[in-house]
Chains A and B, each alone.
Chain A
């Protein structure tokens, strides 16, 4: 890993230092207590009866035999949990236990609480459900064309969400272009595969208080949904997230087992544990949407983009989950890497009888990024312009506005490209390696936190409370949850730096809706930016109190002090030196309790149109990646040999963890590029197991070289931006582009499996287009276009650019 400080170094004592994660040792030594490790006296166990049908009306459910079984405490059905809920206000379509119909194999219809899991499991066998099968929709094509009752009955049937946006006169721009190219792509769905299977423990206090310990990325959203599902007041519910063994977007809302366990706890008066099997985790899903995409771009003869027309057909699965946002994300960030003067996006999310799709690392953006980066690589070849040159002519500039009203601040895209292409020797290798060896290039950009919360409100997105103890201990309280990404370590470093304490003096209290102030959760790469800024605000307030107290006590002007790394000194080196604990005692003596809060709310950035809430972010990260592959033309086997990746993280607060996130993203991206697919057969998930759902191992993980580019974002905490998701984006198309460079065929569909490579090679040999992937789009009429005015800054910005 090499850190490139593009903005000049700063004088920090902790920021920029690689320090271990506080949760590292407990997790590696087995001391961490995950949700499934928790035990309470008199605890009983919950198992869910799940649908065996992809789409069926429930005629009746007979639970009497199960209820009568010895060892069974209670059996519940949808009658006991009738409330319809959903994580998005526009997506109220889920029920904890289905009453009227089931919508995928794995949807829950009943739940049992029993003395142990074996008994609960046996009791499930005694529950009889009568189903009336309905037509099932297993693909985008099915969903749009097959007659019958839609998955959810609503105004638009199976095509339940759609949007059509236009920025600038796309048709005129395409008409006036020297060249126009179009391509079709398909990105297959895949799932998060966290090591920790979802688990929860619910406890009911008869005084009217419910506590749920659960494996979640967002205690806050689970809190709200759970209160709704159980018909409790929000103040009656407490949600605590123990350490989480991976999320990647798959643990961001209320799940059926959580509501069922909570209800059973209320009914039986016993603590109830629910721990899912791996199969059930595949059914919870909320993973990557399969997306069929069509892109058309116009170009001037000197290689400048004149317009882009883009369509997304999004396979949503059986429920909304985050789907309305996911849909818009397949159209929002196309404009963030390349300057696009006229842009049209039309998208539809369809319902199918599969586990619901939702947010997975990159949320809705890896699919269009794959399409775009592959398309651009092909366009460069068609135009006869080296791909790097073509891309550089079109990159966005720092501190600019996109045509769809996204505000770009710091932007290290050019620096990232410069580093990886130089280090990989891209220009020397591209198009020049022997047959079977290839090198591919791609870029990407991602949010540093969604600009808007999931439900409409104007309150902070993250708050942090600080309390100083006279021992010198700094107690930090925040609703954020570390799901492995390192947000605990981030908060410790940020607070210690901003306050002037030593990092070891910082203690965290996290992810407890009773005792910690709200943070919306670990999603949209928001925690460093938002909780980090909230923590800095709180810490600076307390630092001020400490310095003023010292100034008055010691009669030294505040600006003469240097407070860092747990010591208060005079800048000139004279006079007394106080330890942090002594300083706190002094301040507490003068001021009383030393507490302060800070909060963060992103600036209002949404453009003036419906749908503009998805895409805005206080900053964007940028990444460039180069992938080298070996392709065996006889077998079609693709081996990724090397990856170079440079990421504009704004500022690396803790470089070793930043690098870890980059590497994790590369690893996950390679899985999506080459192996992972959530596929169905005869209405069922084909392979709901860790053995047969193929995800790479360390043996498939190539040598990676990571470069961190520091652009110091003006609004990020100490200049930091995100790293958890963005680095995934360019790697997938870079693999596809490298495959083309190796053997001259374009694979327009993930995952790039060897049979697809051979089919494309066969097509090439027969003189057909040397590609594999979709060639047609389904019949569907998008809604009327919403034509949006260009941003006020656009004209002057364009004049300046040209």
Chain B
């Protein structure tokens, strides 16, 4: 059996106490909520915190609900299952409820949390391996080594942002409330993620992600996930899209791609092309063609990476068609048949 390394587990009773513990133990400490990401990583020696601070018991981080200002607040330790089933989220932010409901398996959704999924360690099939495997290939720069195996000439790490909820928060213009012993700050989701496989969050080491704040104004929103199987699998592409329809045109278009880079990728050019336009099928095709340009999948997750890039275009088109009320998938058209030879 693969076993956890020794570590000290701390169980704070309040968020303040948790922040103090994190301040005290510094960079050698990590927080854990559901543990579905951290503990397997620890077993494989990918992450080796000396101190683990458990947030699970902090009820104050758990609730989901509408605030008086009309925003929707999701506590960081609300489980993915709670988020997926929450009636407010399902009605106003179905993209987030859907994304949460598509993470891993039912068992893990009951353990894993929204905050944990947003902060999910970046993934790479040169990195998500046990110690013996990584030693055999010679460790990569994300842990214990110098090289990026998927792009050996690269000065940076290309591990992949594989969270389902992260691109949704970016598309929905969510903000995150971060708490530390020094106080709290609010950051835009788009500024929370960094395009670097190692330093993939702008979160400071002493900060705890406490809450996701979803804006008050309503947008139509959806999330499309590409993965091999109907359960278990991390996304190998996620498309989160949001827009508002007004007098036959669309406004506030936001398209964020997940699992195609080290952070969620905001397809700004594509969104700008659609902004204020009538969402005709041809235009949506064109917008999808712009959106996939930002996708930079590499050969470090499941399936063929050139194919995954191509799918970004298909999935953006399907997601946008869904949002503007077109059938997402058109019936297949037989291609002209050349002589099979």
**Residues of A bordering B, CB below 8 Å:** 50-53, 105, 117-118, 121, 275, 277-279, 434-436, 631-636, 675, 682-689, 691-692, 694, 696-697, 699-700, 744, 753-755, 758, 761, 764-771
A700 touches B229 (CB 8 A): yes
Closest to A436 in B: B332
CA distance A755 to B305 in the complex (A): 9
Cβ of B329 < 8 Å from any Cβ of A?
Answer: yes
Cβ of B339 < 8 Å from any Cβ of A?
Answer: yes
A767 touches B338 (CB 8 A): yes
For A700, the chain B residues whose CB sits under 8 A away are 229-230
| CB within 8 Å of A: which B1-19 residues | 1-3, 6
CA distance A635 to B336 in the complex (A): 17
List 5 additional contacts besides A634-B314, A634-B332, A694-B229; criterion CB under 8 Å: A52-B136, A434-B331, A687-B125, A689-B129, A699-B229
Closest to A631 in B: B332
For A279, the chain B residues whose CB sits under 8 A away are 130, 132-133
**A684 → B minimal CB distance (Å):** 6
B228 touches A694 (CB 8 A): yes
CA distance A53 to B133 in the complex (A): 10
CA distance A697 to B105 in the complex (A): 11
- The dominant DSSP class at the A interface is loop
Cβ of B283 < 8 Å from any Cβ of A?
Answer: no
**B274 → A minimal CB distance (Å):** 21
CA distance A251 to B333 in the complex (A): 48
**A773 → B minimal CB distance (Å):** 14
A635 touches B314 (CB 8 A): yes
For A687, the chain B residues whose CB sits under 8 A away are 125
**A553 → B minimal CB distance (Å):** 59
A765 touches B302 (CB 8 A): no
CA distance A625 to B321 in the complex (A): 38
CA distance A186 to B2 in the complex (A): 35
B341 touches A769 (CB 8 A): yes
For B314, the chain A residues whose CB sits under 8 A away are 634-635
A435 touches B334 (CB 8 A): yes
B304 touches A277 (CB 8 A): no
CA distance A684 to B1 in the complex (A): 21
Closest to A767 in B: B338
**A620 → B minimal CB distance (Å):** 34
Closest to B301 in A: A692
CA distance A643 to B137 in the complex (A): 42
CA distance A396 to B307 in the complex (A): 43
With A686-B125, A694-B228 known as contacts, the answer to whether A769 contacts B340 (CB < 8 A) is yes
For A118, the chain B residues whose CB sits under 8 A away are 3, 6
CA distance A692 to B337 in the complex (A): 36
- List 19 A-B pairs, Cβ < 8 Å: A105-B136, A118-B3, A279-B130, A435-B332, A436-B331, A633-B332, A687-B125, A692-B128, A694-B228, A697-B229, A699-B229, A755-B303, A755-B307, A758-B307, A758-B310, A764-B340, A765-B335, A767-B339, A769-B341
With A632-B329, A633-B335 known as contacts, the answer to whether A684 contacts B229 (CB < 8 A) is no
B136 touches A755 (CB 8 A): no
CA distance A53 to B137 in the complex (A): 8
Out of A51, A52, A278, A755, which one reaches B304, CB within 8 Å?
Answer: A755
CA distance A771 to B310 in the complex (A): 20
| CB within 8 Å of A: which B284-341 residues | 302-304, 306-307, 310-311, 314, 329, 331-341
For B331, the chain A residues whose CB sits under 8 A away are 434, 436
A697 touches B340 (CB 8 A): no
| CB within 8 Å of A: which B220-252 residues | 228-233
- The dominant DSSP class at the B interface is loop
CA distance A564 to B106 in the complex (A): 49
Out of B3, B135, B228, B302, which one reaches A52, CB within 8 Å?
Answer: B135
**B312 → A minimal CB distance (Å):** 11
CA distance A48 to B294 in the complex (A): 45
Cβ of B193 < 8 Å from any Cβ of A?
Answer: no
Out of A105, A685, A761, which one reaches B335, CB within 8 Å?
Answer: A761
Out of B136, B232, B337, which one reaches A691, CB within 8 Å?
Answer: B232
B135 touches A764 (CB 8 A): no
Closest to B132 in A: A50
CA distance A105 to B138 in the complex (A): 12
For B332, the chain A residues whose CB sits under 8 A away are 434-436, 631-634
CA distance A557 to B334 in the complex (A): 76
**A696 → B minimal CB distance (Å):** 7
**B232 → A minimal CB distance (Å):** 6
Closest to B130 in A: A279
Closest to A279 in B: B130
| CB within 8 Å of A: which B117-151 residues | 125, 128-130, 132-133, 135-137, 149
Closest to A49 in B: B132
B338 touches A697 (CB 8 A): no
A692 touches B335 (CB 8 A): no
Closest to A51 in B: B136
For A50, the chain B residues whose CB sits under 8 A away are 132
B136 touches A754 (CB 8 A): no
For B129, the chain A residues whose CB sits under 8 A away are 688-689
B229 touches A744 (CB 8 A): no
A765 touches B136 (CB 8 A): no
Closest to A634 in B: B314
For B228, the chain A residues whose CB sits under 8 A away are 675, 694
Closest to A630 in B: B332
A765 touches B336 (CB 8 A): yes
For A770, the chain B residues whose CB sits under 8 A away are 338, 340-341
For B307, the chain A residues whose CB sits under 8 A away are 636, 754-755, 758
For A683, the chain B residues whose CB sits under 8 A away are 136-137
For B306, the chain A residues whose CB sits under 8 A away are 755
The listed residue with most A CB atoms (<10 A of its CB), out of B311, B314, B333, is: B311
Out of B136, B231, B310, which one reaches A684, CB within 8 Å?
Answer: B136
**A501 → B minimal CB distance (Å):** 42
With A764-B337, A768-B341 known as contacts, the answer to whether A697 contacts B1 (CB < 8 A) is no
**B54 → A minimal CB distance (Å):** 22
CA distance A758 to B306 in the complex (A): 11
In the complex, per-residue mask of B1-45: 1 if CB is within 8 Å of any chain A CB, else 0: 111001000000000000000000000000000000000000000
Out of B3, B132, B230, which one reaches A697, CB within 8 Å?
Answer: B230
For A699, the chain B residues whose CB sits under 8 A away are 229-231
For A434, the chain B residues whose CB sits under 8 A away are 331-332
For A275, the chain B residues whose CB sits under 8 A away are 1
With A277-B1, A435-B333 known as contacts, the answer to whether A684 contacts B128 (CB < 8 A) is no
For B125, the chain A residues whose CB sits under 8 A away are 686-687, 692
| CB within 8 Å of A: which B146-161 residues | 149
B133 touches A688 (CB 8 A): yes
CA distance A683 to B335 in the complex (A): 40
**A487 → B minimal CB distance (Å):** 29
For B128, the chain A residues whose CB sits under 8 A away are 689, 692
Closest to B105 in A: A697
CA distance A700 to B228 in the complex (A): 10
**B36 → A minimal CB distance (Å):** 12
The 8 closest A-B pairs by CB, nearest first: A699-B230, A767-B338, A755-B307, A755-B304, A436-B332, A52-B136, A435-B334, A769-B341
Out of A51, A744, A753, which one reaches B337, CB within 8 Å?
Answer: A744
**A431 → B minimal CB distance (Å):** 13
Closest to B226 in A: A635
CA distance A691 to B341 in the complex (A): 40
CA distance A690 to B267 in the complex (A): 33
**B185 → A minimal CB distance (Å):** 35
CA distance A426 to B2 in the complex (A): 49
**A761 → B minimal CB distance (Å):** 7
For B135, the chain A residues whose CB sits under 8 A away are 52
For A755, the chain B residues whose CB sits under 8 A away are 303-304, 306-307
For A632, the chain B residues whose CB sits under 8 A away are 329, 332
CA distance A52 to B331 in the complex (A): 50
**A307 → B minimal CB distance (Å):** 24
CA distance A631 to B329 in the complex (A): 13
CA distance A265 to B335 in the complex (A): 66
For B232, the chain A residues whose CB sits under 8 A away are 691, 697
CA distance A668 to B338 in the complex (A): 35
